[in-house]
Amino acid sequence: MSLENNKVIMNPVIEAINKRQSVRLYEPKPIPRDVINTIIEAGNQAPFMSEKRFQPWRFVVVEDPEFKQKLVQTIEPIRSKSVEGMKETMPELYEQAKRLYEVMDEPKDLIYYSAPVIIFVIAPARNSIDCALVCENIIIAASSLGLGSCYVGFGAMVTGNADVVQTLELTDDERIYGPIVLGYPKVDPSESVVSALAELRPKKKEPMIKWI
């Protein structure tokens, strides 16, 4: 059923949700620590189920450029192989991903998009639903504060690098959720990059609702 003839109530929370979108172009501008802390605290308020009666997750905030580069170098071969695998099975998506890589500015980072902040949400594997709620809170909070964000699934594929695992202090029973990149959306990006990103952006439709 369409929402066309139904009134939709608006408030600041709904507005933050509605304006949220996955941002993949960022200004090289640092985010103040109080803003990052506010966003993390919003994530920390997510509902959860834990036998210990405390939140099962923890956060790692990455700002250091050298460590970011180590993360990119760890994952880029995995990303490239995955994209090549789409050449036969998903040719349209393959061409779109290839075009985006070609037009992106140097240094090319199609994993974390050169965002100033990466937030890793880390918890035991059994807490996947809880951590999904944490990530959503983070994304909405960022939107409400005028920041862009993006949930980057490839960004979690760092466990093959022992140095990265040690720095993140990952234990055998933990996994990474997200990570989520944050930053101020880029002002006046090139038309070629905007066009390539628009091709990759998923289409949205109105919710399908059955009233009983």
Closest C-alpha among 40, 38, 35 to residue 183: 35
Lowest mean pLDDT among 48-57, 70-79, 172-181, 184-193: 48-57
Which tops the pLDDT comparison, 134 or 54?
Answer: 134
Higher pLDDT, 8 or 90: 90
Highest mean pLDDT range out of 45-54, 182-191, 194-203? 182-191
Least confident span in 152-156, 174-178, 197-201: 197-201
So what's the pLDDT on residue 113? 92
Instruction: Report the percent of the chain where pLDDT is more than 70.
Output: 97
* Contact criterion met (CB below 8 Å) for 103 and 196: yes
pLDDT of residue 1 exceeding 50, the answer is no
Could you tell me the pTM of the whole model?
A: 0.89
Average pLDDT over residues 72-82: 92
More confident residue, 83 or 170: 170
- Whether residue 12 is contained in a domain is answered as no
Q: Is residue 3 predicted with pLDDT exceeding 70? A: no
| 135 sits in which H/E element | helix 128-144
pLDDT of residue 206: 87
Residue 24: Cβ within 10 Å count: 25
Residue 181: closest CA among 132, 114, 126, 129? 114
pLDDT over 70 (residue 5): no
Mean pLDDT over 197-208 rounds to 82
The sign of the CA dihedral 161, 163, 164, 168 is positive
Mean pLDDT of the chain: 90
pLDDT of the residue at 147? 97
Whether 86 is covered by a domain: the verdict is yes
Q: Residue 100: pLDDT above 50?
A: yes
More confident residue, 138 or 201: 138
Domain count, the chain: 1
User: Is pLDDT above 90 for 95?
Assistant: no
* CATH code for the domain of 121: 3.40.109.10
What digits encode the pLDDT tens for the residues 129-169?
999 999 999 999 999 999 999 999 999 999 999 999 999 99
Is residue 172 domain-resident? yes
Q: Is residue 188 part of a domain?
A: yes
**What residues contact 73, with CB distance under 8 A and at least 6 apart?**
none
pLDDT above 90: residue 40: yes
- Alpha-carbon torsion 92, 96, 97, 102, what sign? positive
CA separation, residue 106 to residues 6, 67, 110, 113, 190 (Å): 47, 18, 11, 11, 13
The whole domain housing 98 covers 26-200
118 inside domain: yes
